[in-house]
A and B are shown apart, each in its own frame.
Chain A
Amino acid sequence: MDQPRTPMVFKSPVIDQVGVVERAKRFTSRSIKSEAKMRGLEMVLSMIDLTTLEGMDTEGKVKQLCYKAQHLHDSIEGLPNVAAVCVYPNYVGLAKRSLAGSGIKVASVATAFPSGNSSLEIKLADVSMAVSEGADEIDMVISRGRFHRGDYNFVFDEIAAVKAACGEARLKTILETGELGTLDKVRLASDIAISAGADFIKTSTGKIQPAATMPVTLVMLEAIRDHFQKTGLMVGMKPAGGISKSKLALHYLIMVKETLGDDWLDPKWFRFGASSLANDVLMQIAKQQTGAYQAANYFAID
């Protein structure tokens, strides 16, 4: 080893995997009445980070996404806007200009997304670039390789350094739970990220399967809850990847409410990282309003 291992300073509670899975399953069997469902669907829309993170992204694609963020479905009146648009750093400036005056935030992935395999200097430069272009939020990835090696202090220091580079921008820390392996490690990574100063913890990049699942999200929500009870400070949560149906999104809202309470049911503290979820929610809202099941080809492609 080129570097001495740092001593383990984080003590996270042990996770009862069977219990977590069972508990997460319970949230899916709540009865939601239609009025509450409508409000829930609108809330989901207002919490979406509309995302495009493809190698084939173009300026046109980003502009189109920004337009969609402000005009989700003009034939339905009174729809909220989404919370943010999430792009790569080189499109932050364009997104910022396209969204000017709308109140929609621009989030940017940074720190050698999605692998995070680069030097700290390059990662910080990546963050500074996004911030100077006007990003309101930075989505960083943790160094999973170092995490698995046991270099928890390295992971902590890196998050803290990125947080410092963010300035005013809020920092979302992506744990990439699909690569962490166990719920115990998810909990440990959550605790490290929270104590290093992350404003949000986020499940996944969307590039690795499995992405967000309910049990993983529950473990992270409990880490946020325990931190809140200890310190009184709120941390946000963003499940990302694999949430494409409104029903599932509503289950997540129930889980947030029952784990953290009403304060977190706000775009400031809870987000969905998704690209196809918005259309499904819009179809559900249209179904509730018209009584007829909808078809995808009546909605904007995003």
Chain B
Amino acid sequence: MEESNKNSSKSERLEVLKTYKMYIDGKFPRTESARYYQPMVNGLSLGNVCLASRKDVRNAVVAARSAQAAWARRTAYNRAQILYRIGEMLEGRSQQFLDELVRQGVDKETAEKQVAESIDRLIYYAGWCDKYQQLFSSVNPVASSHFNFSTLEPVGVVFTVASRTCPLLGLVSLIAPVIASGNTCVVLASETCPLSAITFAEVLATSDVPGGVVNILTGRIEELTEHFSRHLDVNAIACDRLDSEVNTKIKEFAAENIKRVKTYHQDWSTDAAASPYFIQDFCEVKTTWHPIEQITESGASY
């Protein structure tokens, strides 16, 4: 209270407060339900934030699904360029992220570290886009005249429940490996610290990421659990450390169409929190048999 008084005496003009909206299909809509909540940090409100509804989840999944095929069809090299671009844009706006992290109750030093690490993590996964395939794919020995090879393909639409406690780095660490392989995702931002997620959406919107590849919702996990985990068009779920009750519920609902559910308990600021295995988590292995013509005694002619 005291601080805001100080501010108003400093400048004559009235501060324009930002409306924090969600990010669906490359646009920034308000929630369809017109509901809002006010996350509080140290007794101060962070602002009016959209409380996503069942229909917002549905709309976001529709957007993610329709963007998925085209995103996966892009060359790995191009996806790398775009991930790198997100990193560049984040770098340019690092001060804004710093300020917001501090507003959300993160101390300044940690905030600086988190912003820097988030940028580095994007660059890290940008590098992996056209390399994880070589690492995880294989040519398999078989007892007939076939080439037999296994490669990774994206699972499709991944619903991502972002870290509650690590609003920016946790978010980036979950999104980047998911989209690196050609998945699209719907992200439910941290309920208590949603500002970084929304501002990150603004970065995405200006980084050549096609609309619908990343969709960001804000709201309460308890309200939405059933809707996203039972949704047949969601192929996998990535969660960061949830209450075991919510986690069990997600797994039960996900069993209906055998969704893949990955729960992470990482400290996102460690080196172990970045690895190509996070990309592999949301890929499935496709094996192809390709006949080889047997011409000579010594084997194939090529």
Contact = CB atoms under 8 A, between A and B. Distances in A.
Contacts of A292: 230-232, 256
A91 B256 CA distance: 41
Count chain B CB atoms within 10 A of each CB in A293, A294, A298 and give the residue with the most: A293
Interface in B26-65: 58, 61, 65
Given A293-B58, A293-B61, A298 B230 contact: no
Contacts of A291: 230
Contacts of B230: 291-293
Interface string B214-233: 00000000000001001111
Contacts of A294: 232-233
Contacts of B58: 293
A298 B233 CA distance: 9
Nearest to B62: A293
Interface string A26-60: 00000000000000000000000000000000000
Interface in B200-254: 227, 230-233
B245 to A, nearest CB: 20
A296 interface: yes
B118 to A, nearest CB: 32
A233 interface: no
Nearest to A293: B231
A296 B65 CA distance: 10
A301 interface: no
Contacts of B231: 292-293, 295
Contacts of B233: 293-296
Contacts of A298: 232
Interface string B256-267: 110000000000
Interface of B: 58, 61, 65, 227, 230-233, 256-257
Interface of A: 291-296, 298
22 contacts: A291-B230, A292-B230, A292-B231, A292-B232, A292-B256, A293-B58, A293-B61, A293-B227, A293-B230, A293-B231, A293-B232, A293-B233, A294-B232, A294-B233, A295-B65, A295-B231, A295-B232, A295-B233, A295-B257, A296-B65, A296-B233, A298-B232
